[in-house]
Structure 1
Amino acid sequence: MVVAILAVPAGTGFDASPRWPTRIQVFVANSGSDNVTVYDPRLGEVTATIGVGDYPAGVGAHPAGHRVYVTNESSNTVSVIDTRSLAVVATVPVGANPFGVAATPTHAYVTNFGSGDVTVVDTATNAPVATIPVGRFPHSAVASPDGSRVYVTDNGGDSVTVIDTRSQAPVATIPVGVFPSGIAISFDGERLYVANTGDDTVTVIDTAAARPVATTKVGNAPLGVAVTPGGRVHVANTGSNTVSVLGPTGDPLGVVKVQRMPEGAAAAPDDSSVYITNTGSDTVSVLDAESGKPVARFAAGKGPEGVAVTS
């Protein structure tokens, strides 16, 4: 199969025109400057910088869009941001070295890399209500569209743990590649996509069967992964400064060159754009969701890692 290489121009002006949504906000966790950058695609500019805890790494959005949860890896807390006031409204203590976070309408699930568990936070009270043991080094998390399941990658166990959100307990473990990191779910909830940093692959999982159905080779050291509503999968390859674009079944569609050390990935819910954090260059690349081509780039804080899009 021929894989197209889509080069990023040296400047910040691009010839493609993104199909900007009517109202979304992009939240970027900057691990090196202990803050969050907020970007408005309609205006094409950064609209706020919000101070949070020490070494913010992951970002997750509430399904309703009114809250964003930021994991502070060095202070063992989660900052809760109101997306209207753009202010921190709560700071929640969690486990050791929190990294990933996924939210359902009622709870936020925080992966604690250092303590090998997941903290469950009540989204109404912003209080921790449960702790779920998950593998050795839980990294990232994603919730199913109906909120009934949360899927957690375990770096140490080369697996994905499935959590039932009613019983707040693990119900399955799915083997994947080596050192699984980023994870994303299709908008219909039928497939999971896991970036395996240790063997440069993406595992495609059938959620109904709870088993892998495909494995695709991508770039070097894949970390972040995002799925558009249209089904295209974007994988940030931090070791090769590229983004691999895959089809819904994991078939390779192209490779996009971005800036240094791409790490986080998030897709806009209106199928307009994909956002890739470039940790090594303190920027975020904006890709057109349909063509995969870069259409914009904006400056973030120092060491941008996690990214989330609210609607």
Structure 2
Amino acid sequence: MRTLSQAGGRLRAGLSALALLAALPAFAAEAVVTVQGDNAVEILDLAAGTVAARIPVPGSPAGVALSPDRRTAYVTRPDGPGLAILDIDARKVTGTLPLPGGPLGIACNPASGTVYVADWYGKRLFVLTPKDGTLVPDGEIAVGASPSGIAVSLDGATLLVANREADTVSVIDAASRRETKVIPVGKHPFGITLDAEGKRAYTANVLSDDVSVIDVAAGREIGRVKTGERPYVVALARGRGFVTDQYTASVTVFDLATLKPERAIDVGDHPEGVAASRDGSRVYVANWGDNTVSVIDADTLGVTNDIPVGDGPRAFGDFLR
């Protein structure tokens, strides 16, 4: 049985949301990458293709989410267990918060700043409210078994949670903190991604080697996309989906309109976290097995750079700013 820090990987291991988006650059200037093997978080200068700073974070850091203003990073520490709070500009940890169970997946509500942490060993999300520069525990939300990836709609009203051991996605009303729908998907969904309109969600199903496409309003799966072995997370850019395939060291690219695979892009060993720049021109892939971050041109579908990083980059979540 794998430990929590290995989950999803190999056997090792007040501005409104719209105003905030308008204030952000279209391109990504930095990446906040959890390097699990080195017990650290690295800040990458994406233009230079270098590590600009390294911040020690013990406890096998894995998941990452950024605050609405993109100045604070929240990092899960499965072997803590708990959470670390980082000031990205100051390049330092400003606080830690112990959490029971197995904190792994994490997301931040873009409208309220509320942070949600998935308990891998339970059937719950921890709700954490920002207050005076830190986070305060503020209850729990019941979901399915082994919740992993979390996605939040731009207006902050809806949460979607991939329940790995239940083979389902939970739809949560953020205001009432109640599960409103349970959607069957592929086998062992891990990462979940919601499009900008909040209409479709995509889960990477680790054991069925495919992506489930969900119509959020209808509350049902409407299609499947075949991927490489052990898909992890999906990013969306330029009308395409980009799926990290852990065991085939590739990224499967598929058309969002037709749901047909287009090609597989070779990247580093054991790719995991993936995210697209806001303008969709670049896709960034954390390669856990060979300690690099690959940069993909979303138009040409070619790898333009491989940035060396520390040991075991995971970057599971929202890691670009």
TM-score (norm 1): 0.89
Q: State the secondary structure of the residue aligned to 1:69.
A: strand
Post-superposition CA distance 1:252-287 (Å, at most 9, x none): 122101111111111111222111111111111111
Is residue 270 of structure 1 aligned with residue 279 of structure 2? yes
Cα 1:39–1:169 shift into 2, 3 Å: same
User: 1:274 & 1:247 partners in 2: Cα distance?
Assistant: 15
Q: State the secondary structure of the residue aligned to 1:291.
A: coil
1:186 is matched with: 195
Q: State the secondary structure of the residue aligned to 1:126.
A: strand
Q: What is the aligned counterpart of 1:135 among 139, 144, 165?
A: 144
Shift of 1:63: 2.8
User: 2:298 & 2:69 partners in 1: Cα distance?
Assistant: 22
Q: What is the aligned counterpart of 1:291 among 287, 292, 300?
A: 300
Say whether the 8 Å CA contact 1:95–1:115 is kept in structure 2: no
Residue type matched to 1:195 in 2? Answer: A
Q: What is the aligned counterpart of 2:64 among 59, 63, 67?
A: 59
| Worse overlay, 191-200 or 259-268 | 259-268
Instruction: Map 1:189-228 to 2 at 5 A.
Output: 189-228=198-237
User: 1:58 & 1:36 partners in 2: Cα distance?
Assistant: 10
User: 1:267 & 1:123 partners in 2: Cα distance?
Assistant: 26
Residue type matched to 2:130 in 1? Answer: T
User: 1:29 & 1:121 partners in 2: Cα distance?
Assistant: 21
Say whether the 8 Å CA contact 2:246–2:271 is kept in structure 1: yes
Instruction: Map 1:156-175 to 2 at 5 A.
Output: 156-175=165-184
Identity of matched residues, %: 33
Q: What is the aligned counterpart of 2:114 among 103, 107, 112?
A: 107
| Worse overlay, 282-291 or 196-205 | 282-291
Q: CA RMSD in A?
A: 1.6
Say whether the 8 Å CA contact 2:71–2:87 is kept in structure 1: yes
Cα 1:256–1:23 shift into 2, 3 Å: closer
Say whether the 8 Å CA contact 2:275–2:320 is kept in structure 1: no
Q: State the secondary structure of the residue aligned to 2:58.
A: coil
Is residue 309 of structure 1 aligned with residue 319 of structure 2? yes
User: 1:275 & 1:157 partners in 2: Cα distance?
Assistant: 29
Q: State the secondary structure of the residue aligned to 2:38.
A: coil
Residue type matched to 2:80 in 1? Answer: S
1:256 is matched with: 265
Shift of 1:224: 1.8
**Bigger fraction of residues in helix:** 2
User: 1:26 & 1:103 partners in 2: Cα distance?
Assistant: 16
Q: State the secondary structure of the residue aligned to 1:71.
A: strand
2:31 is matched with: 26
Unaligned runs of 5+ in 2: 1-24
Instruction: Map 1:39-54 to 2 at 5 A.
Output: 39-54=44-59
Shift of 1:215: 0.5
User: 1:44 & 1:74 partners in 2: Cα distance?
Assistant: 30
2:10 is matched with: none
Shift of 1:204: 0.6
User: 1:108 & 1:231 partners in 2: Cα distance?
Assistant: 29
Q: State the secondary structure of the residue aligned to 1:32.
A: helix
Say whether the 8 Å CA contact 2:169–2:185 is kept in structure 1: yes
2:42 is matched with: 37
Say whether the 8 Å CA contact 1:24–1:309 is kept in structure 2: no
TM-score (norm 2): 0.86
Q: State the secondary structure of the residue aligned to 2:225.
A: strand
Residue type matched to 2:234 in 1? Answer: V
Shift of 1:21: 5.6
Unaligned runs of 5+ in 1: 1-19
1:86 is matched with: 91
User: 1:299 & 1:196 partners in 2: Cα distance?
Assistant: 28
Say whether the 8 Å CA contact 1:193–1:203 is kept in structure 2: yes
1:245 is matched with: 253
